[in-house]
Structures are given as C-alpha cells and as structure tokens.
C-alpha cells in the first residue's frame, strides 16, 4: 500500500541570530497514493524544508502536512529517506546497512536483503564496506536501505546530485524500476530538469524568497520515457521557460 501526501498552506520561518528567513509561504500541493512527484527549483527555495516536513524531521511549520490522512508529528518507519550523501554506516557491510532499519525474523531479513541486493545490482557487493564503493553503488545501497522496511512513502533529496552524468542516468532508471515495482508514493527533490521529466508524473516548480509553488506540470508520457523524443523536449522547454532559461 502507498499513502497520499497533502500539504495545505504550509509556512516555515527560520529565526537565527536575529534574522528571519521565510523558507516556505503558503505551500499547497498533494501527491496521490503511488504517484511520483518531482520538486524542482533554485537553491534556497525550500525544497529540503518541504521534504523534511513530510518526513517528520521538521515539525515547526504552520498549516497542514498530512500523510495517509494523518497529520505528520514526527519521523516514522513508513517514510524512507535518501539524501545526496549516502549516509551509510562506515562500519557496516552493504547487507548490514540495508537491514539497519528492518524489523523481522532472521529469515525475513535475509530474504529482504537478497531481494534488494538483486534489484539494485549489488549482489557482488553485499559484504563490501561503504568506503570501497563507487558513488553510484553507495547510492544504490542507500536506496535499498530506504526500501527495506517497505516504506509507504519514499522521499529523496537530490539523491544523484553528486554523481556524474552517466551514472546519474543509470540511477534514474534504477529508481524508476523500484518505484514501478513497489508502487511507493515518491517525492524527489532535484535540480535537474531532465531527471524530473524522466521520472515524475507531475513536476512541482518552486520559487525562492519566500519559498512557494510557482507552477505544477503534469507529464503524461508513458514509462519508460524516451529522453530523445519530441514530447520530452517540449516538457523540458516548458520547465526551462519557468526558470527564464529560454525565451
């Protein structure tokens, strides 16, 4: 099962050293159960703040954030999170890291780890330690770890931002495979317009100062998407226009 996410008139003000920053102002959007939404916008427009409020890592917002019809009051195991840095435990193997948040019998754990290792093409690295992995491999392990408890919601904050362009495309395909397999509701924060158009059912464009929703674009193209198609180029151009990057 996957859960619907709703944000209604969400605001967040940070106060530090006498300064106030309105990180979010009147942010409203929803993510349907099983939908993939990409959140895109320039640095500082509040993307991470939105994701952290959905994750329950930041509860100091005004307005309403709901997951599965209940207000978010703190972090829960049914929300898997992936960050730009892999955040794997350096002293654990890939298999141990994947099972870090998993609760179940030894047999269930072994089965779940095997399934995710296979899905993320990490079988050969099950007993490797994070320092020996490439950036892409480490992010595959981080995604596998987030998926291990079978989360209802998958939240990704620029997960491929530190990877080279070729690895990034491989990772986008891998993420799409797991999303289509598990039907998880997914919210992906990205700076990358192509990444949003490849993966998302809808793209939410945010603008800064104060952080707000500027535009929502539905991408009604079948999966897997053809990065070289005319329809793809049309969606890319529309998003570029939103950022005044084309005329």
Which lies closer to ligand ADP via its Cβ, residue 84 or residue 201?
A: 84
The answer to whether the peptide bond before residue 217 is cis (omega within 30 degrees of 0) is no
**Other CB atoms closer than 10 Å to residue 132's CB: what's the count?**
10
Instruction: Return the residue of 10, 35, 36, 46 that touches ligand ADP, per CB under 6 A.
Output: 46
Among positions 213-232, residues that touch ligand ADP (CB under 6 A) are none
- Give the angle subtended at the CA of 94 by the CAs of 92 and 95, to the nearest 5°: 95
Tokens (6 digits) for 150: 């079978």
**Is residue 47 within 8 Å of residue 39, measured between CB atoms?**
yes
Q: CA 230, CA 236: separation in Å to the nearest integer?
A: 10
Going from the C-alpha of 173 to that of each of 25, 47, 160, the distances in angstroms are 33, 23, 12
Q: CA 15, CA 192: separation in Å to the nearest integer?
A: 30
Closest approach of Cβ 14 to ligand ADP, in Å?
3
Closest approach of Cβ 195 to Mg ion, in Å?
15
47 binds ligand ADP (CB under 6 A): yes
Instruction: Return the residue of 3, 7, 40, 48 that touches ligand ADP, per CB under 6 A.
Output: 48
Which one of 44-52, 84-92, 120-128, 131-139 is the stretch in contact with ligand ADP (CB under 6 A)? 44-52
Give which of Mg ion, ligand ADP, none residue 21 binds (C-beta under 5 to 8 Å, depending on kind). ligand ADP
Give which of Mg ion, ligand ADP, none residue 43 binds (C-beta under 5 to 8 Å, depending on kind). ligand ADP
Instruction: Return the residue of 7, 10, 23, 144 that touches ligand ADP, per CB under 6 A.
Output: 23
The answer to whether the peptide bond before residue 210 is cis (omega within 30 degrees of 0) is yes
Closest approach of Cβ 10 to ligand ADP, in Å?
12
- Residues in the site for ligand ADP, rule: CB under 6 A? 14, 16, 21, 23, 41, 43-49, 211
């Amino acid at each position: 099962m996957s859960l619907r996410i709703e944000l209604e008139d969400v605001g967040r003000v940070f106060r530090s050293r006498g300064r106030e920053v309105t990180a979010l102002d009147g942010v409203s959007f929803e993510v349907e159960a099983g939908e993939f939404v990409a959140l895109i916008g320039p640095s500082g427009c509040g993307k991470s703040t939105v994701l952290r409020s959905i994750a329950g890592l930041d509860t100091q917002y005004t307005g309403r954030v709901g997951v599965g019809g209940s207000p978010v009051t703190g972090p829960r195991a049914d929300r898997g999170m992936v960050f730009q840095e892999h955040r794997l435990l350096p002293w654990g193997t890939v298999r141990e890291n994947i099972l870090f948040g998993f609760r179940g019998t030894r047999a269930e754990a072994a089965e779940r780890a095997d399934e995710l290792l296979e899905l993320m093409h990490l079988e050969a690295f099950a007993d490797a330690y994070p320092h020996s992995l490439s950036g892409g491999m480490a992010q595959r392990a981080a995604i596998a770890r987030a998926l291990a408890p079978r989360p209802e919601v998958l939240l990704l904050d620029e997960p491929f931002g530190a990877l080279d362009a070729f690895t990034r495309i491989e990772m986008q395909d891998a993420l799409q495979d797991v999303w289509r397999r598990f039907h998880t509701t997914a919210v992906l924060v990205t700076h990358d317009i192509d990444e949003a158009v490849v993966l998302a059912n809808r793209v939410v464009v945010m603008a800064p100062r104060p952080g707000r929703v500027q535009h929502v674009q539905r991408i009604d193209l079948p999966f897997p998407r053809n990065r070289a198609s005319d329809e793809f180029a049309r969606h890319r151009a529309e998003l570029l226009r939103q950022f005044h990057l084309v005329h």
